Structure 1
Amino acid sequence: MNFAKNKNKIIVLITTTVVLVGVFLFYFLSKKEEIIIESEVNIAEEKIDPFEDLVLEAKSAFVWDTYENKIIYSMNGEAQLPLASLTKLMTALVVSELVPEGIIVTIDSQDINEEGDSGFLMGEKWRLADVLDFTLVSSSNDGAHALASIIGSINTGEGQTQEEMFIKEMNQKAQNLGLIQTYFLNESGLDVSQDVGGAYGSAKDVAMLMGQIIKEKPQILEATKYSSLEIKSKDFTHTVYNTNQYAEAIPGIIASKTGFTDLAGGNLVIAFDIGIGHPIIVSVLGSSREGRFKDVGKLVSASIEKVAQE
Structure 2
Amino acid sequence: MLLTGLTASLAPVQPAQAATASSSSKAKAKTVRKAKPAPRSPRKVAARAAAPVREIVPAKPSFGQMYGLHDTEDPLDLKSSVAFVVDQDTNEVLFSKNPQAVLPIASITKLMTALLVVEANQSLDEKLTISDEDKDTEKFTGSRLAVGTTLTRGELLHLALMSSENRAAHALGRNYPGGLEAFVAAMNAKAQSLGMMDTHYVEPTGLSSRNQSSAKDLAALVKTAHQFPLIRELSTSPEYTVALGRKQVRFGTTNGLVRKSDWDIGLQKTGFINEAGQCLVMQAQLAGRKLIMVFLDSAGKYSRIGDAERVRKWLTSTSSPLATVSAPTAATVLAK
- TM tier relative to shorter chain: 0.7 to 0.9
How does 1:110-149 map onto structure 2 within 5 Å? 110-113=133-136, 115-149=140-174
Quote the offset at 1:206 in angstroms: 1.2
Q: 2:304 aligns with which of 269, 272, 292?
A: 292
Distance 1:233 1:66 in 2: 39
> 8 Å contact 2:287–2:316 — kept in the other structure?
no
* 1:218 match: 229
1:269 alignment partner, SS class: strand
TM-score w.r.t. the length of structure 1 is 0.72
What residue ranges of structure 1 are gaps of 5+ in the alignment? 1-50, 156-161, 192-196
Distance 1:279 1:237, change over 3 A: farther
Q: Report 1:76-155 matches (<5 A).
A: 76-101=98-123, 102-113=125-136, 115-151=140-176, 154-155=177-178
Change (3 A) 1:113 1:264: closer
Q: Does 1:72 align with 2:76?
A: no
The answer as to whether partners of 2:286 and 2:316 remain within 8 angstroms in 1 is yes
- 1:52/1:59 CA distance change after superposition, 3 Å: closer
RMSD: 2.3
Task: Give percent identity, aligned residues only.
Answer: 31
* Distance (whole Å) between structure 2 residues aligned to residue 87 and residue 198 of structure 1: 11
- The worse-fitting range, judged by mean Cα deviation, of 55-64 and 100-109 is 100-109
Query: What CA distance in whole angstroms lies between the structure 2 residues aligned with 1:258 and 1:166?
Result: 21
Q: Deviation of residue 268 (structure 1)?
A: 0.7
Candidates 230, 248, 264, aligned match of 1:237: 248
Q: What secondary structure, in the 3-state scheme, does the structure 2 residue paired with 1:183 have?
A: coil
Give how far 1:113 is off: 4.8
Summarize the Cα distance change of 1:236–1:214 in structure 2 as closer, same or farther, 3 Å threshold: farther
Offset at residue 58 of structure 1 (A): 1.1
In 2, are the aligned partners of 1:130 and 1:233 still within 8 Å (CA)? no
Give the 3-state SS of the residue equivalent to 1:221 in structure 2: helix
Name the CA distance, whole Å, in 2 between partners of 1:224 and 1:232.
Answer: 20
How far off is 1:132 after superposition?
0.6
Q: 1:285 to 1:189 in 2, by over 3 A?
A: same
Indicate the residue corresponding to 1:173 in structure 2: 190
Gaps of 5+ in 2: 1-72, 326-336
- Please state how far the C-alpha of 1:271 moved relative to its aligned partner: 1.5
Contact 1:83 1:199 in 2 (8 A): yes
Residues 124 and 233 of structure 1 are in contact (CA less than 8 Å); yes or no, is this contact kept in structure 2? Answer: yes
CA distance in 1, matches of 2:175, 2:277: 30
Question: What do the CA deviations read for 1:140-194 (whole angstroms, capped 9, x no partner)?
Answer: 111111011111xx22xxxxxx332211110000000111111112111113xxx
1:272·1:281 contact (CA, 8 Å) conserved in 2? yes
Matched, 1:247 2:264: no
The 2-side partners of 1:207 and 1:218 are apart by 18
Aligned to 2:60: none
Q: Which moved more, 1:293-302 or 1:224-233?
A: 224-233
